[in-house]
Structure 1
């Protein structure tokens, strides 16, 4: 996302009128999660500041009678949800980032949401909430997956399944995760999306996981080790994903959420139609 992300964390780039990270945090909140842990580094203090209370701004909005804006500012994080941040001092991979939260997570089950990816279920029961319910009911870790074209499997982590491909909204046992397999050699066309519900015990596994692909500690390697001792399931998502880690995906997310915006939607759809005209 350069050059925009040169001075602004890419998670803070706006999707219409809110930064991308807010969409992800609120997705977790809607799934019933009450404790949010941000894994950040020194260049991303803007993320922490965004979720903090700004009394001066709220006082100004209240004094000017801008009650709608005041409500939106106060609605960023519900009062019954706590948010803290921990620092990842060196970028050593997703597995390392998750492990940085171990002192806070302890032995409790937790979810991992990658902020590059936005998920919209368009009014359906949300995928992350279903994954949490399935974990609570079965004790099996849940890995969100979606189907990708066969010619693009070499760009993703691809799961191997014990049974047939699950229908959207259902889970099936996994036997392996293959990182970027060669086209024609992939065990399925189901790619890992960036949403995980995991048991606390994986923190101990991560602590012993050596560096893998890219000389980084990979979460997929730890999940592979977890499968040797506990059930792990692939959850076939029903919603739609937007990869905001690249320019095309970011613009697609803006178009999608702008067209559905409660205040701007009609105007945006008219503008899009005029541009395509």
Structure 2
């Protein structure tokens, strides 16, 4: 359908906006930055449409948003390298007790798991963008080439390198829903009580824990490795929790995780769990208030 007026252009852009934000978020790992990138593209779309009418608004916008997100990612690399402690992506949360609405199923399919987002941070910006656009969003390599500024053959290689890297670094997660739920419940109970022995029973021997406080709140500056160290770290965290702290099951990037709420019900942490063979193999704790739901709105 041809878009002729600015109001029609705005409606077309609004329809495309959720997918554009998902694209930018997957490239950047920051929902706040993704929202900014998509907002920045609206005046550029107006300007482009004023010269030569944009026939396919979503296709134009996906390319433009991806290019801008890639530029932002390149400029953010230095900031992330000098970040205080471990830099973790912003989590996307949903109610664990609510099944996704049919209208949201596409969004769930296009949600990059938290464990994958963490590994994407180890790729080059070009590799990350090529993999996200092609493997997650099904963008043709010719279109990806326009975004990345390489030939189609080159971006095919970028995506292949990224795919191999992700396959090697991301654990094959639990596919049995019942076992997954049981592992999350066991982890939650053990973490709530600070029971080291119970934690050791649910943690993989080679488990890794990362925590991101951003220099704003206390967090481990380096990853904690191994079941014994992770169990004792979590037990120490439990011991220091103020009265009234609760753990609530949520979906973190479409997979089971936890939010930590203080006595007032405010989110003070989000915990992403990666589970394989019925055991927790990764624990990623986002503590930086700026990356938590309320902090993004401030």
TM-score (norm 2): 0.29
Higher relative contact order (CA 8 A, sep 6+): 1
**TM-score after normalising by structure 1:** 0.31
* Bigger proportion of residues as strand: 1
